[in-house]
Structure 1
Amino acid sequence: MTQPPAWTRGDVAALLPDDTARAWFDEALADAARAAGTPPAAPSPYLAHTWELRFAAAGRHCGHRNADAVRALLLIEARAGLGTLTRLYGYGSAAERRAVLRALPALVEGPHAVHLVEDALRSNDTGLVLAAVGPYAAAHLDAHAWRHAVLKCLFTGVPLDAVARWTHRAAGDGELARMLRDYAAERTAAGRDVPDDLGRVLTLTGEVPKEL
């Protein structure tokens, strides 16, 4: 089952800097609503639909701090399908890719967009990694991929509390415990600090962390 968006229209509008930005936002959502359910017009990175052009321009008109939320709502309002999401992710900047990842729980039922999450987790961009480990990943990454997502967060410094449902998925996971011990041993052998979050996860797996 898809989930409601993390932001509502009112939430985002309240964050925008001025009436000009809010008017642009309203027009963009109206464009997206008009296009909902209609196929793309031509095979190019940004097609004839005005909302897709607005998707790319959101940072310029609404402020880069608000652009993730604006873009995610545009995707949701347009009822973007998997093909559109994959295309916008593939051609998009890191900021645009973050928005696609954040919109997945509201748009995609089942594991069909896992390839986008897995691509983001191959990046060392902490913003992409953080966006990738949200509710969609918690629901649909298989155990092997999810364990590696946890290690990726430890490696890149993404706070563990950003990982959706991590306490539920880590509980009693002996294989995750083994991977965490190996990672801690590698860090220690290299003279590097072991992230504090590692001990928190290890405890949930059922292991009693030794001094790391």
Structure 2
Amino acid sequence: MNAGAMGALPEEARRRLRALTDEITGDPDAIAVRFPAAARLVARGPADPADPSGLLGPTLDDRVRAALLAALRDAPALSGRPDLLAEEVAALYRFGDSDEKRAVLRALDGLDVGAVAPELIDDALRTNDPRLIAAAMGPCGHRFLTAPAWRHGVLKCLFTGVPLAAVHRLDERADAELARMAGGFAVERVAAGRAVPADTWRLVGEDPETLRALTAEARSPHPDRRAAAERALAERRRPRAPG
């Protein structure tokens, strides 16, 4: 069990979690029952009051379930059998509810499950659930997604309102192609007379093609498009906090 991650739990909750992890280490099949019940048995809710929905990081129940997955990974019965671990993790995700799926995604970076990891991340990115998308673009997405898939994941965040602060190490991996894609997204929104999410400008930067297109839209004879372009250009110039 990660003592640091569980430090905020009351002693009774820590005791219950230790009992569950010990049980799973001795009998990996127990996770099929214990994983869904983990939040009820140990703890649930936000780990950070500033992040009540768990978009920017794991919730308490995510952390509890991550401890159960770590116990499964370390179970002697699964030693040298990454195929069995991958099979069990995939089943927990596929048959789980949204909270359970999110917990699997949050824990994937610390599990050796091979090709199952990108498959589960891709599945999450096909949904419109902001919590799953945010989790998929956390450390597991940074580690397992190819460059094209990762870029599309970042765009999915813009489409669904997931803050880019949820994307693990965004600035390290962002590139000119992502800026071009984000610029195209901004121009499409303006052409439809719709607002451009403020986070978009963190990606676009000073892309000249995007700025030319928005400037042209600001002269459009269509009032909705003109107003949307003017709002977008004003938002682009607004100072932003780093990160």
TM over 0.5: yes
Distance in 1 of aligned mates of 2:112 and 2:195 = 39
Distance in 2 of aligned mates of 1:130 and 1:35 = 32
Q: How far has the Cα of 1:84 moved from its partner?
A: 0.8
Q: Contact 2:86 / 2:113 at 8 angstroms: preserved in 1?
A: no
Instruction: Decide which of 118, 134, 157 is 1:153's aligned counterpart.
Output: 157
TM-score (ref. length: structure 1): 0.80
Residue correspondence of structure 1 range 62-211 to structure 2 within 5 A: 62-65=42-45, 66-79=60-73, 81-108=85-112, 111-171=115-175, 173=176, 175-203=177-205, 207=207, 210=211, 211=233
Distance in 1 of aligned mates of 2:8 and 2:194 = 40
Q: Contact 1:110 / 1:140 at 8 angstroms: preserved in 2?
A: no
Query: Matched residue of 2:193: which SS?
Result: coil
One-letter code aligned to 1:190: A
Gaps of 5+ in 2: 46-59, 74-83, 212-232, 237-243
Instruction: Decide which of 9, 28, 35 is 1:55's aligned counterpart.
Output: 35
Q: How far has the Cα of 1:202 moved from its partner?
A: 1.6
One-letter code aligned to 2:71: E
TM-score (ref. length: structure 2): 0.70
Gaps of 5+ in 1: 1-6, 37-48
One-letter code aligned to 1:207: D
Q: How many corresponding residue pairs?
A: 188
Q: Contact 1:101 / 1:117 at 8 angstroms: preserved in 2?
A: yes
Q: Contact 1:120 / 1:128 at 8 angstroms: preserved in 2?
A: yes
One-letter code aligned to 1:8: N
Greater relative CO (CA pairs within 8 A, separation 6+): 1
Q: How far has the Cα of 1:190 moved from its partner?
A: 2.2
Distance in 2 of aligned mates of 1:102 and 1:197 = 23
Instruction: Decide which of 3, 21, 27 is 1:35's aligned counterpart.
Output: 27
Q: How far has the Cα of 1:150 moved from its partner?
A: 0.6
Q: How far has the Cα of 1:62 moved from its partner?
A: 2.3
For residues 128-147 of structure 1, give each alpha carbon's deviation from its aligned partner in whole angstroms, at most 9, with x where no partner exists: 11110112211221122111
Aligned to 1:22: 14
Distance in 2 of aligned mates of 1:147 and 1:73 = 30
For residues 86-138 of structure 1, give each alpha carbon's deviation from its aligned partner in whole angstroms, at most 9, with x where no partner exists: 11101001111111111111112655410100000111111111110112211
One-letter code aligned to 1:64: R
Alignment RMSD (CA, Å): 2.1
Distance in 2 of aligned mates of 1:127 and 1:113 = 17
Runs of 4+ in 1 over 4 A off after TM superposition: 109-112
Query: Matched residue of 1:113: which SS?
Result: helix
- Aligned identity (percent) is 43
Query: Matched residue of 2:5: which SS?
Result: helix
Query: Matched residue of 2:162: which SS?
Result: coil
